[in-house]
Amino acid sequence: MENNKIKKKGILILEDGTKYEAYHFGATVSSSGEVVFNTAMTGYTESITDPSYKGQILTYTYPIIGNYGLPSFSCKESIHEFYESDRIQVSGIIISYYSKHPYHWNMSLSLSDWLCKSGVPGLYGIDTRFIAKKLRKNGGSMLGKILIENEDLPFYDPNQDNLSEQVSIHKKIIYGNGKYKIILVDFGLKNNILRCLLRRNCTIVRVPWDYDFTKEEYDGVVLSNGPGNPKIYKKPIHYIRLAMENKKPIFGICLGNQLLGIAAGGDTFKLKYAHRGHNQPVVLLKTGKSFITSQNHGYGLDARNLSKEWKMFFRNLNDNTCEGIIHDYKPFFSVQFHPEASSGPTDTEFLFDIFINIVKGNKNN
């Protein structure tokens, strides 16, 4: 159980030398990674288990975190009902105020207890909104480290590593028994992608990040979200190019959008401000309708070198960057944001319906 009487000090150090003294909770260990921010008012259980945050120290701008503890770890069809993976993925969390007396009817343990069990440190008592503003001025992220009990660590840049190799499954897994067989390439997927597809009459074949899925029989392919620099993933980009020759439907999400774009002849670049949080506005160019989306990434897709058959699908209304691409007549499209958004706005979940309708039409031809 948590000890509310003893407050151990910790410190957050950013790569520019800025230091923030704070109080410590969670595991009594130091940690290093890429410091990013999240603007959500709820859903910390989902975000800290999202593999897209692998190697990152997550800063929450919402001032109260931990107030409802952690829900049960129950599973449905071998998928955790309330979490986006089976473990904490972040390297640490930074919050303004930690609620030491959490309560919820479905609570199984406190956030601090779970961090302790997982070996992940946390700091509270910091002006996290100020940190978010500082991070945004530095490309949406900075390298940083959480130091506990005077232990020191070197700075660590997770973007230099193959993070998908660390968070992806290692062998093929099959879910459901639906009409449409969907290959789901796991670059660090969120569980809600599985849930969204299972609700749409799919049999899902979940495969590792570097698996040659082109040798499988399937009706469509979903390229999942995931962490890290998209240019590292040369092997899956090759498989995506082969799959595009097959002309079966392909739907890319977040990292999957960037990989589809590279496979189609585009390029990626480091964003000036990055896209973080649950309030990123995008516009569907075909209709002019806008949506609020959930995002967490530091790379953008440069679609200028794509052939004329490719069009921009969505555009970001803050910085006008590409938020998705779509082919004129082949069944390929992708989006940079999270249409499965758990937690986050669910306004764009209809993209799964579009994908399944394309799969259905392609299968019947």
Report which of 35, 265, 260 is spatially closest to residue 137, judged by C-alpha positions.
Answer: 35
Q: Are strands 220-223 and 250-253 parallel, antiparallel or unpaired?
A: parallel
Q: Given 196, 202, 254, 322, which residue is catalytic?
A: 254
Give strand ranges (E) for 160-253. Answer: 173-175, 180-185, 202-207, 220-223, 250-253
Are 111 and 123 within 8 A, CB to CB? Answer: no
**C-alpha distance from residue 259 to each of 128, 186, 214, 223, 351 (Å):** 32, 13, 16, 8, 18
d(CA 224, CA 107): 30
Active site residue 116: no
- Using CB atoms within 10 A of its CB, is residue 352 exposed (0-12), middle (13-18) or buried (19+)? buried
**C-alpha distance from residue 104 to each of 43, 66, 70, 110 (Å):** 14, 11, 8, 10
d(CA 299, CA 280): 15
Q: Is the dihedral of CA 155, 54, 296, 109 positive or negative?
A: negative
Residues in the chain: 365
Three-state DSSP at 170 gives coil
d(CA 98, CA 25): 8
Active site residues: 254
